[in-house]
Chains A and B, each alone.
Chain A
């Protein structure tokens, strides 16, 4: 199946700093990618939709100035957590669906720990 890769898989950062997570579709192009966060033993919560060449659309309650999303190419979307706080510690997952196709594929996820 199609491959979506995230980097880094784990990151620890200090409170107040910013951290960037990359999401790449390795063998297909995607005009749309999605970012989720997941707390332990909970379901995935959609944060935002990343649109190539345009602004991301955020779900209600998600701060767009805190979670910056950039979708600069058809194979790369980035999520930057700005001024991170311990409560931002979570598992972040991206997904993408191929331009030609009916299935959404997910990345491996990225663990963010803010200390």
Chain B
């Protein structure tokens, strides 16, 4: 299983763009990269998933370089409600071979 490394915490102000980078040096060929958001006392919520290059949806963008050894979650114009823990997970997300191991996550604090 690929291990992930993220910053423990980050601070930002409302309206700013936040970029959280995750290192996954031993990512396997078939592994996808998935980011989740977790609020206190709730299960993780899917944000975005990618395999390579760039992926964008209505809430975030995911940048993955060619070597796939890292990825960056970009949250445009954050608000107070984006204060949460963000997890980067790497794994094969299909079938019985999939098993996601959580790293420490990044605790994002958004301030006024």
Does B96 contact A31, Cβ atoms closer than 8 Å? yes
Q: Which residues of B contact A105 (CB under 8 A)?
A: 46
Does A45 contact B49, Cβ atoms closer than 8 Å? no
Binding site for A on B (CB under 8 A): 32, 34, 36, 41-46, 49, 87, 93-96, 98-105
Q: Given contacts A43-B105, A97-B94, are A106 and B99 in contact (CB under 8 A)?
A: no
Confirm or deny: A91 has a beta carbon within 8 angstroms of a beta carbon on chain B: yes
Does A104 contact B100, Cβ atoms closer than 8 Å? yes
Confirm or deny: A67 has a beta carbon within 8 angstroms of a beta carbon on chain B: no
* Closest B residue, CB atoms, query A43: B102
Number of interface residues of A (CB under 8 A): 27
Closest beta carbon of chain B to A41's beta carbon, Å: 9
Does A44 contact B46, Cβ atoms closer than 8 Å? no
Q: Which residues of B contact A104 (CB under 8 A)?
A: 34, 46, 93, 98, 100
Closest beta carbon of chain B to A39's beta carbon, Å: 12
Closest beta carbon of chain B to A71's beta carbon, Å: 11
Confirm or deny: A25 has a beta carbon within 8 angstroms of a beta carbon on chain B: no
Does B34 contact A46, Cβ atoms closer than 8 Å? no
- How many Å lie between the Cα of A106 and that of B85 in the bound state? 15
- The 0/1 profile, CB within 8 Å of B marked 1, for residues 38-76 of chain A is 000001111001010000000000000000000000000
Confirm or deny: A108 has a beta carbon within 8 angstroms of a beta carbon on chain B: yes
Closest beta carbon of chain B to A57's beta carbon, Å: 9
- How many Å lie between the Cα of A31 and that of B95 in the bound state? 7
Does A93 contact B102, Cβ atoms closer than 8 Å? no
Does A106 contact B45, Cβ atoms closer than 8 Å? yes
Closest beta carbon of chain A to B8's beta carbon, Å: 11
